[in-house]
Chain A
């Protein structure tokens, strides 16, 4: 019985220390809220809106063509970054990161995971974009 209690206490202490370490590390590493993060969040939110509702670029000197090209690059990178975040948050809940499979296979796998892991449609699209580019 003593042995059983000792193992029980040891396992409980191990799990508790993991939780405490995780919380402490999380608080230590969490950066303070800054403008880039919020602006990126606004940008990703804006990307979900129709094109004519997106915020216009503030660079007045750029030509419309350069402006749209730069905006496209920036939007696409922001989408990819957001896709990586969603990938780690959703897929990492259960398993390690898989490699990138061919796009059409990835589309099937994500349809399967949408049903299996109940990920949202928005998350599926962003993860698919991240995993196929």
Chain B
């Protein structure tokens, strides 16, 4: 994009320097060449008139073409080019958008092969200047080989992950009602989509704090603002009611998350708190960190979570090989990833988390063919009391965006 910008600047400058300047320089060259030749070989007098007439015609044709071209393609003199024309942002009326991500994963887990196709459509419908309805559904299946049957078999699972209505009350606050992703930590809200995550598998601590179906049903207030010139503050406070309607079930809970983002360092740190208003009425805590050094194509992310059903952490680093001095055509599309995580069971047993304490290490290589299309591969080693195992993953992810209306500004 930076190269495009440079080219656009050069084009804009050429427009401002103008076709006339270009024509004048060509004209001078032509005249000087003709005058030199004239000095070297005298031209008969009867031919001078024809030569002058032909030169005049040529110049006229050139200048006419340039003038027509200028009037057709470039703005009038003393005005800015379209590149430099400030765009009225308020005139851009948003249209509904359908964003779809798809994945085809093959997981080799302890000698068993799983085929995992996934389709996730996201619908965004804006209303007026302050409203937005957004919903995400998931269609997925876990296909495995069954004894006595050929091929892979499974059922398609359908989930409505969230369906929420957002009202942007002020520049610093948005009110959300409906079913929303529980903002505990950053993975569930930001890194969960298959086209975003660096490794195909979920962190072991993901089920902690996000509810039985990764979402809550209720209301939320959230926003972000610039605290001073050095950092931004973001926050989310929410309340969820009990719902037992599977697969849209949720727990009765209340909580919040707050974070500080330092744009210059591209560092974000924050914490989450949640109080369960049912069962054991326990408290949950979490901390998160994300850092992208401005000068390096490196992502560092980490999260911890602590609750009565379990606790643990994960730390992940991903490095895009754009700075490797050889084989740049291939390596600049390549990303290497490593993640380590530990999970410890808590005093209260729960079905949502692993039944035993587990450690896991994963290493992955991703290749970006183009924007939205990516191949993923990873190897993980899992250590658990009942036995250790290897998990291999191969995946192909794809994401595309479709405006449901005219995308250009009228």
Binding site for B on A (CB under 8 A): 3-4, 7-8, 10-12, 14-15, 18-19, 21-23, 25-26, 28-30, 65, 69, 72-73, 75-77, 79-80, 84-86, 89-90, 92-109, 111-112, 114-123, 125, 128-129, 132-133
Interface 1/0s, chain B 367-382, versus A by CB < 8 A?
A: 0100110000000010
Nearest-neighbor residue (CB-CB) of A16 within chain B: B317
- Of the listed stretches B109-117, B224-232, B237-245, chain A binds B224-232
Q: Which of B80, B176, B407 contacts A72 (CB 8 A)?
A: B80
What are the 4 tightest A-B residue pairs by CB atom distance, in nearest-first order?
A102-B407, A118-B234, A121-B171, A105-B403
Chain A CB within 8 A of B140 CB: no
Asked if A115 and B222 make an inter-chain contact with CB atoms under 8 angstroms apart, the answer reads: yes
Chain B residues with CB below 8 A from A26, complex form:
293-296
Asked if B296 and A119 make an inter-chain contact with CB atoms under 8 angstroms apart, the answer reads: no
CA distance A90 to B300 in the complex (A): 15
Interface members, chain B 187-232 (any A CB < 8 Å)? 189-191, 195-196, 222-226, 232
Asked if B383 and A4 make an inter-chain contact with CB atoms under 8 angstroms apart, the answer reads: yes
Chain A CB within 8 A of B73 CB: no
Asked if A21 and B296 make an inter-chain contact with CB atoms under 8 angstroms apart, the answer reads: yes
Chain B residues with CB below 8 A from A93, complex form:
190, 261, 266, 268, 290, 292
Q: Which of B92, B176, B195, B263 contacts A104 (CB 8 A)?
A: B92
Asked if B408 and A15 make an inter-chain contact with CB atoms under 8 angstroms apart, the answer reads: no
Asked if B174 and A114 make an inter-chain contact with CB atoms under 8 angstroms apart, the answer reads: yes
Chain B residues with CB below 8 A from A102, complex form:
403, 407-408
Assess A108 versus B84: contact at CB under 8 Å? Given A26-B293, A26-B295, A115-B174.
Answer: no
Say how far B234's CB is from chain A's closest CB, in angstroms.
4
Nearest-neighbor residue (CB-CB) of B122 within chain A: A112
Say how far A124's CB is from chain B's closest CB, in angstroms.
9
- Can you identify 11 A-B contacts, CB atoms within 8 angstroms? A7-B381, A19-B300, A21-B298, A86-B263, A93-B261, A94-B190, A97-B1, A101-B403, A104-B405, A108-B403, A133-B83
Say how far B137's CB is from chain A's closest CB, in angstroms.
15
Asked if A22 and B293 make an inter-chain contact with CB atoms under 8 angstroms apart, the answer reads: yes
Q: How many residues of B are counted as interface, with CB atoms below 8 angstroms from the partner's CB atoms?
A: 79
Asked if A18 and B94 make an inter-chain contact with CB atoms under 8 angstroms apart, the answer reads: no
Interface members, chain B 133-169 (any A CB < 8 Å)? 134, 166, 168
Q: Which of A14, A98, A111, A133 contacts B126 (CB 8 A)?
A: A111
Say how far A19's CB is from chain B's closest CB, in angstroms.
7
Chain B residues with CB below 8 A from A129, complex form:
87, 89
Asked if A104 and B408 make an inter-chain contact with CB atoms under 8 angstroms apart, the answer reads: yes
Interface 1/0s, chain B 81-101, versus A by CB < 8 A?
A: 001111101001111110100
Nearest-neighbor residue (CB-CB) of B405 within chain A: A104
Asked if A103 and B340 make an inter-chain contact with CB atoms under 8 angstroms apart, the answer reads: no
Assess A111 versus B224: contact at CB under 8 Å? Given A93-B266, A96-B371, A132-B87.
Answer: no
Q: Which of A3, A99, A118 contacts B222 (CB 8 A)?
A: A118
CA distance A119 to B5 in the complex (A): 24
Interface 1/0s, chain B 389-410, versus A by CB < 8 A?
A: 0000000000001010111110
Chain A CB within 8 A of B386 CB: no
Asked if A92 and B407 make an inter-chain contact with CB atoms under 8 angstroms apart, the answer reads: no
Asked if A115 and B298 make an inter-chain contact with CB atoms under 8 angstroms apart, the answer reads: no
Contacts beyond the supplied A8-B361, A102-B407: 8 A-B pairs with Cβ under 8 Å:
A12-B340, A21-B296, A26-B293, A73-B80, A77-B84, A79-B86, A109-B99, A129-B87
Binding site for A on B (CB under 8 A): 1-2, 5, 78-80, 83-87, 89, 92-97, 99, 124, 126, 132, 134, 166, 168, 171-172, 174, 176, 189-191, 195-196, 222-226, 232, 234-236, 259, 261, 263, 266, 268, 290-296, 298, 300, 315, 317, 319, 338-340, 359, 361, 363, 368, 371-372, 381, 383, 388, 401, 403, 405-409
- Most chain B beta-carbon neighbours within 10 Å: one of A95, A104, A125: A104
Asked if A109 and B401 make an inter-chain contact with CB atoms under 8 angstroms apart, the answer reads: yes
CA distance A97 to B320 in the complex (A): 13
Assess A104 versus B95: contact at CB under 8 Å? Given A18-B319, A96-B371, A116-B190.
Answer: yes
Say how far B27's CB is from chain A's closest CB, in angstroms.
26
Instruction: Work out how many contacts link A and B, with CB atoms closer than 8 A.
Output: 190
CA distance A123 to B224 in the complex (A): 10
Asked if A18 and B92 make an inter-chain contact with CB atoms under 8 angstroms apart, the answer reads: no
Chain A residues with CB below 8 A from B225, complex form:
120-121
Say how far A101's CB is from chain B's closest CB, in angstroms.
6
Assess A7 versus B300: contact at CB under 8 Å? Given A96-B368, A97-B1, A109-B401.
Answer: no
Asked if B315 and A108 make an inter-chain contact with CB atoms under 8 angstroms apart, the answer reads: no
Asked if B132 and A4 make an inter-chain contact with CB atoms under 8 angstroms apart, the answer reads: no
Chain A residues with CB below 8 A from B5, complex form:
80, 84
CA distance A69 to B75 in the complex (A): 14
Chain B residues with CB below 8 A from A29, complex form:
295
Nearest-neighbor residue (CB-CB) of A27 within chain B: B295
Asked if B87 and A133 make an inter-chain contact with CB atoms under 8 angstroms apart, the answer reads: yes
